[in-house]
Each structure stands twice: as C-alpha cells, then as structure tokens.
Chain A
Amino acid sequence: DAKTTQPNSMESNEEEPVHLPCNHSTISGTDYIHWYRQLPSQGPEYVIHGLTSNVNNRMASLAIAEDRKSSTLILHRATLRDAAVYYCILRDRLDYGGSQGNLIFGKGTKLSVKP
C-alpha cells in the first residue's frame, strides 16, 4: 500500500474549523483515501473516504487535490469530542490479494481541541 504523511499533532479552538492535511505523493489511480479517527480509550471509527471528488457526510468533509497527491479532512466546527488521533489511509480498490479490506495504519495526527 502507498504511504501517507501526516503531521504528528495539531491544535484547534472549539467551534472553529479544522483542516487536517495528508500527503500521499505516491498514490495510484485506483487508491481510495480513507480517514479513521480514534478517541481516547476507544477503537478507531470510520470518518469518511473518497476517490477523486470531494466528499461530505455528517461528520466531516474530504477535500482531494486535483492531482490526488494530497487531501484534507475538514471538521467544520470542532468540539471537545473531536479530540482524537486522525488516520489517513490509502486502500487500493483493485486489491484482490489475500489482504482485501484490511487497513494499514500509520501514527496519525493527534488533534487537541481547546475550549
């Protein structure tokens, strides 16, 4: 799987937007971009994923660069409950090997939210 690069940590103020960057310069044309987050003492949870176009859901928005070498997860109004480690992961949609579906996690970005 292609690698991603994320900042180790970021800080945000409550009720302000947060932009979490992810670089994936070696992304292939068939890689999906997935985001998961892990709140303290919990397992990771799915946030959003996309291929080429920007995506929105109730949790966040995903902005994908035109060349797909980077993406940004956008939390529109950060709350204290959004403090977590955010993981950006690439998954090849044509992966027919024995490891279909599994996620390979990096260290992610630890987001702190200040009141």
Chain B
Amino acid sequence: EAGVAQSPRYKIIEKRQSVAFWCNPISGHATLYWYQQILGQGPKLLIQFQNNGVVDDSQLPKDRFSAERLKGVDSTLKIQPAKLEDSAVYLCASSLAAATNEKLFFGSGTQLSVL
C-alpha cells in the first residue's frame, strides 16, 4: 500500500517569498491533516479536512497560510509571504475517517528554510 506522498522534500526561500507544498494521501482516506513541526517540538496541527471540507483550521495563521483540498483527494498548503519563523517541517497525514480511534499515517514532510 502506497503511503502519504509529499513534495518537495526540501525548500529554501527568502522571507517575503511564497511557497507551496503538495500532499497526496493514501487512497480512500477521507481525512487529511497538515501539521507544522518546529525543530525540537512535537507536530502542531494547522488544518484538518474531511473530504474537501475544512473541519478545523483554528491554528492556521490565515493572514499568510492557506490550504485547499480540491475533489477531496490531493491537498496544497501555501505560505504567502513567508516569515523567518515559518522555518519548520510541514507534515501531511491522512486517516480513513475522522474518528478518534483511527490511525493517522504521516508523510515524510517538507523541510522549509526561510532565510
């Protein structure tokens, strides 16, 4: 079974530039999550989708971050403009459903460096 695919693996940009990350979840998984992991900390949820609808985006800095999941499959996360403090690993995860007993499957993440 193919896992969660993310690209690019690494990205280096200058502050105030824009960047986009792509995620392809496991086939058939209705729920998709984007997490931000700053060095030395645990992952922090940014946004959760159920199919193509947003379930929770309370932690998403909406002035600069946006995410979409068209057709309820692939998803993109965008930062515009980027700040130095956005340097982190951005992880995408998916699960079969949103039930609290479901396992989450994570991709390897995109490591973003903002200079």
Q: Which residues of A contact B (CB under 8 A)?
A: 32, 36, 41-46, 49, 85, 87, 91-93, 95, 98-108
Complex CA gap A104/B107 in Å reads 17
Provide the residues of chain B in CB contact with A100, threshold 8 Å.
55, 98-100
B102 within 8 A of A: yes
- Counted as pairs of residues, one from A and one from B, with CB atoms less than 8 Å apart, the total is 70
Minimum CB–CB distance from A4 to chain B (whole Å) comes to 11
Complex CA gap A32/B104 in Å reads 14
Q: Which residues of B contact A (CB under 8 A)?
A: 4, 31, 33, 40-45, 48, 55-56, 58, 91, 93, 95, 97-109
Provide the residues of chain B in CB contact with A91, threshold 8 Å.
100-101
- Residue among A45, A92, A108 with most chain B CB within 10 A: A45
Interface of A is mostly: loop
Contact (A95, B42) CB under 8 Å given A43-B108, A100-B55: no
Report the nearest B residue to A42, measured CB to CB.
B108
B42 engages A101 (CB within 8 Å): no
Contact among B41, B44, B107, B108 for A41, CB-based, below 8 A: B108
B33 engages A46 (CB within 8 Å): no
B44 engages A99 (CB within 8 Å): no
Beyond contacts A32-B101, A102-B45: 19 other A-B pairs, Cβ-Cβ < 8 A, are A42-B109, A43-B91, A43-B93, A43-B108, A43-B109, A44-B43, A44-B106, A87-B42, A91-B101, A98-B55, A98-B56, A100-B98, A100-B99, A100-B100, A101-B95, A102-B33, A103-B43, A107-B40, A108-B42
A99 engages B56 (CB within 8 Å): yes
Report the nearest B residue to A89, measured CB to CB.
B42
